[in-house]
Amino acid sequence: MTCIGIDAAPSSATALDQVTLGNGFVQSLRCNVQTISSLSDARDKKYYRSDSRTGFLMKVKSRPVQLGQKRMV
């Protein structure tokens, strides 16, 4: 766990893989980009599995969709 700032504390004494920025009085985050993005994590995916040969995530369940194009006159 990593805690940055005055009185920054983890969510619990046993927290792992967590970064805490500041304490409860922090009202904004400032960085050199417009947004802070969360990363996509395979553990959050419901219908994906990892292909052990390639290491890629493969979609297990899908719904067939037919797309068409409307002609503009």
Mean residue pLDDT across the chain? 76
Give the per-residue pLDDT at 41: 61
Residue 20 resides in a domain: yes
Q: Is the pLDDT of residue 46 over 70?
A: no
Whether 10 is covered by a domain: the verdict is yes
Two tokens, residue 52: 């052990």
Q: Where are the beta strands (DSSP E) in the chain?
A: 2-4, 19-21, 48-50, 57-59
* Parent domain of 21: 1-25
Q: Is residue 30 part of a domain?
A: no
- 6 is a domain residue: yes
Does some domain include residue 37? no
Q: Count structural domains, the chain.
A: 1
- Tell me whether strands 19-21 and 2-4 are parallel, antiparallel or unpaired: parallel
Please report whether residue 19 resides in a domain: yes
pTM above 0.85, yes or no: no
- For residue 31, name the pLDDT band (cuts at 50, 70, 90): confident
The answer as to whether 8 is a domain residue is yes
